Amino acid sequence: MTAVPITTVTTIVEAIEDAGPDVKLFSLVDPDRWELPPFRAGAHIDLRLPGGMVRTYSLCNDPADDKCYRVAVKREPAGRGGSAKLHDQVRVGDMIGVSLPRGGLILDAAISRFIFVAGGIGITPFLSAAALLLRTGRPDFALHLLVRGEPPLPRLVAPFVQSGHVILHDTTTAGRPDLAALIGLPAPKTAIGCCGPAGMIDDFERASRDWPGERVHVERFVPPALPADPNSRPYTLALARSQIETRVEPGQTMLAALLDLGIDIPASCCGGICGACKVDWLEGSPVHRDRVLSPAERARSLMVCVAGSAGVRLVLDL
Amino acid sequence: MLDTIQTSSRGAVVPGWTGVVRHLHVTPRAFLPMREMPEIKLVEGKGIEGDRYMIGREQGFYSHKPEEGRQVTLFEFETLVALKRDASIELGPEEHRRNVTVEGVPLTHLVGRRFWLGETLLEATRLSIPCRHIEEITGKSIFDPLINRSGLNCKILKGGIVRSGDAVRNFQ
């Protein structure tokens, strides 16, 4: 029996390659080389690094490559330490827990032409898309790569440069190109995308203002905060017997907040129907969203996997 | 299928049925895709060789909560048909994350009963409950549609090899 719930996909570092200036390419596989959960082109995964650090990276391989997650990591000396940890401490053979892949590019079959703009290491999601587009017989795409000097991932980028799909723009010699000129005016059956640093994304969003929103894909290095439910408010969760308090953020479940505190809650379905995570409450105004408790039971209990709080403070009998 | 009315050894009248194994799936760890197998090996009192819930292996999403009846799990093929027909949800037999997809077997009637799955003998312990986790894995909104038809948890009383196409029969 495992002591704690398994919350990540277990992977092992199969290979680490030097991949351009300050860039390393990590190949993550299942310990038995089993298929990994599928992903869309350019989807991202969270890597659980030593010391509890969590960092998000785009997958840069073809989604058809179902036994490997490949992420390119640029060392950011001024960053928060995730890239340095990956560069300096992670070795081939290490185990890394990763999240299920999220997001990615929707390469709609109704779209026949794609124009991508990437800044440096921001090329990674588009390399994944480029591999998929070529494999599926959709070669009409252009990937403008803005770099300062040598491009990242030269081994992966070179074939696309040779085929004319990747157009390099070295901003140390020619300055930053006009993004509006690169993407042009809105055209039928054409979609555009951009991934890069914040300033470049801002420019791209200005340049693409006239494009229909569903045909514009923007990928930021630092993801914006998830839109919270407008009616959701943070509240204080107090545990009477343990004498502990914590703050439950909008969008966070009470269950997640309790697990973060190390409280062992026997949750199961996480959808409010199985009844496993029933807890008594003492003070406050719980919002019940379960489908198992009767009105009489709700007067004293709640299901922490789905319940919320209408007030600023809720006290549990834990 | 439900085809006859039979009298059990205890004298109670129960509907007779015979079913068939349509698909077999295992996966070695939580979150990984289920892989279709032509046959699987059930080990008495333990689980399925190579599967995440085999006792002694335990690498499933619920492995921190041991349960005797999680040795092998079954799912009705008819539910996949109903999801498509009634809710336009395409769910493949590799997506519901139970091990054995059967057709013609009234799973909801079998809790507490014994039945043959090919040459193996199972005892049903409880109905499975859907889990939000499956929506995360499949990306499909199937939690609500699977309530009350999410399969059956069983323990293995007699082990053996189960193959796709094997018969499923009531234990008399």
* Residue A142 is assigned to a structural domain of this protein: yes
Say if residue A130 is in the same domain as residue A172. yes
Averaged pLDDT for residues B48-74: 89
- A18 and A84 inside one domain: yes
Do A6 and B60 lie within an 8 Å CB cutoff?
A: yes
Find chain B residues with C-beta within 8 A of A8's C-beta: 31
Q: State pLDDT tens for residues A187-222.
A: 999 999 999 998 999 999 999 999 998 899 988 766
User: Would the CB atoms of A1 and B136 count as touching at under 8 Å?
Assistant: no
Find the domain containing A36 and state its range: 9-98
Residue A76 confidence class, pLDDT cut points 50, 70, 90: confident
- What is the percent of chain B with per-residue pLDDT over 90, rounded to a whole number? 75
Cβ contact (<8 Å) for A269 and B28? Answer: no
Residue ending a domain, choose from A197, A220, A243: A220
DSSP H helices, chain A, are 82-88, 124-135, 154-162, 171-174, 179-183, 198-207, 254-260, 295-298
Are A6 and B29 a contacting pair at CB < 8 A? yes
Distance separating alpha carbons of residues B116 and B106, to the nearest angstrom: 13
- Tell me if A48 is assigned to some domain: yes
Q: Does A9 sit within 8 Å of B30, measured CB to CB?
A: yes
My answer on whether A171 and A139 are in the same domain is: yes
Terminal Cα distance for chain B, rounded = 17
* Domain match, A208 and A289 both: no
Question: Which residues of chain B are within 8 Å of residue A5 when distances are taken between CB atoms?
Answer: 61-62, 64
Residues of chain B with C-beta less than 8 angstroms from the C-beta of A28: none
* Gap between the Cα atoms of A60 and A43, Å rounded: 8
Retrieve residue A86's tokens. Answer: 């990956």
Task: Give the residue from chain A lying closest to B62, CA to CA.
Answer: A5
Q: In this predicted model, which residue has the larger pLDDT, B69 or B156?
A: B156
Q: Which residues of A touch B150 (CB under 8 A)?
A: none
- Looking at residues A11-30, what average pLDDT do you find? 96
Are the beta carbons of A37 and B132 separated by less than 8 Å? no
How far from each other are the two terminal CA atoms of chain A, in whole angstroms?
Answer: 25
Of A26-30, A65-69, B7-11, the least confident: B7-11
Mean pLDDT of B23-47: 97
Among A220, A255, A283, which residue terminates a domain?
A: A220
Contact B66 A1 (CB under 8 A): yes
**pLDDT at residue B25 in the model:** 98
Predicted local distance difference test score (pLDDT) of residue B62: 83
Query: Within a domain: residue A277?
Result: yes
pLDDT of residue B34: 97
Q: Going by C-beta distance under 8 Å and a sequence separation of 6 or more, which residues neighbour residue A164?
A: none
pLDDT at A56: 87
Q: Give all domains of chain B, ordered by start, each with its CATH number.
A: 2-170 (2.40.33.20)
Asked if residue A81 and residue A126 are part of one domain, the reply reads no
Residue with tokens 């990437």: A118
A134, A209: one domain: yes
CB contact under 8 Å between A35 and B35, yes or no, is yes
Q: What is the pLDDT of residue A287?
A: 94
* Residue A226 covered by a domain: no
What pTM, to 2 d.p., does this model score? Answer: 0.82
What pLDDT score was predicted for residue B139? 86
Of the ranges A66-70, A101-105, A155-159, B93-97, which one carries the lowest mean pLDDT score?
A: A101-105
- Is the pLDDT at A262 greater than 90, yes or no? no
pLDDT digits (tens, 9 = 90+) for A126-169: 999 999 999 999 999 999 999 999 999 999 999 999 999 999 99
- Domain CATH for A302: 3.10.20.30
Give the end of a domain, one of A98, A128, A155: A98
B130 → closest Cβ in A9, A32, A269: A269
Query: Is pLDDT above 50 for A314?
Result: yes
Is A223's pLDDT higher than 80? no
The pLDDT-based confidence of A34 (bands split at 50, 70, 90) is: very high
Residue A48 sits in a domain whose CATH number is 2.40.30.10
CB A141 within 8 A of CB A116: yes
pLDDT (mean) for B151-166: 98
CA distance B157 to chain A (A): 21
CA distance B15 to chain A (A): 29
Q: Are A122 and A214 part of one and the same domain? A: yes
- Torsion over CA of A70, A16, A76 and A66, rounded to 10 degrees? 10
Q: What is the mean pLDDT of residues A227-231?
A: 63
B29: Cβ contacts below 8 Å, ≥ 6 apart: A6, A9, A10, A30, A34, B52, B59, B60
Is residue A30 located within the same domain as residue A128?
Answer: no
How far apart are alpha carbons A295 and A288 in whole angstroms? 10
Residue A295 — pLDDT band, cuts 50, 70, 90? confident
CATH of the domain at A153: 3.40.50.80
Task: Compute the mean pLDDT over every residue in chain A, rounded to the nearest whole number.
Answer: 91
The string of DSSP letters for A75-104 reads: --TTS-SHHHHHHHT--TT-EEEEPPPB--
Percent of chain A scoring above 90 in pLDDT? 71
On whether both A254 and A203 belong to a single domain, the answer is: no
**Rounded to an integer, what distance in angstroms lies between the CA atom of residue B169 and that of residue B1?**
10
| Of the partner residues A2, A8, A36, the one whose CB lies closest to the CB of residue B64 | A2
Per-residue pLDDT tens digits for A268-281: 788 888 888 999 99
Contact (Cβ atoms closer than 8 angstroms) between residue B147 and residue B83: no
- Domain assignment present for residue A227? The answer is no
Residue-level pLDDT at B104: 97
Residues with Cβ within 8 Å of A271's Cβ and at least 6 positions away in sequence, in order, are: A305, A306, B130, B131, B132, B143
Mutate to test the interface with B, among A10, A12, A45, A269 (most CBs of B within 10 A): A269
Same domain, A18 and A93: yes
Residues of A with CB under 8 A from a CB of B: 1-6, 8-10, 30, 32, 34-38, 66, 100, 266, 268-271, 273-274, 305
Tell me if B132 and A269 make a contact (CB, 8 A cut-off). Answer: yes
Residue A224 clears pLDDT 60, i.e. is over it: no
Q: Would you state the structure tokens that stand for residue A219, as one six-digit string? A: 């990928």
Whether A91 is covered by a domain: the verdict is: yes
Q: Work out the mean pLDDT of chain B and round it to a whole number.
A: 90
Q: How high is the pLDDT of residue B8? A: 47
Q: Work out the pLDDT band at A61, boundaries 50, 70, 90.
A: very high
- Closest partner residue to B30 (CB to CB) among A6, A36, A273 is A6
Q: What is the mean pLDDT of residues A170-197?
A: 93
* Domains contained in chain A, number: 3
State the nearest Cα–Cα gap between A1 and chain B, in angstroms: 6
Q: Report how far residue B59's alpha carbon sits from residue A313's, in angstroms, rounded to the nearest whole number.
A: 37
A41-56 average pLDDT score:
87
Min mean pLDDT across A224-228, B21-25, B61-65 is at A224-228
Whether A213 and A247 map to the same domain: the answer is no
Using one digit for the tens of pLDDT, what is the confidence trace for B74-132?
Answer: 999 999 999 999 999 999 999 999 999 999 999 999 999 999 999 999 999 999 999 88
- Give the pLDDT score at A11: 97
Which residues, other chains included, contact A173 with Cβ-Cβ below 8 Å and sequence gap of 6+? none
Contact yes or no for B105/B17 (Cβ under 8 A): yes
What does the block give as tokens for A309?
A: 């709080």
Q: Do both A117 and A76 map to the same domain?
A: no
**Among A308, A257, A306, A255, which residue's Cα sits nearest to residue A285?**
A308
- For residue B60, list chain A residues with Cβ-Cβ distance below 8 A: 6
A286 inside domain:
yes
Evaluate whether residue A15 is within a structural domain: yes
The residue of B68, B131, B140, B147 whose CB has the most chain A CBs within 10 angstroms, and thus the best one to mutate to test that interface, is: B131
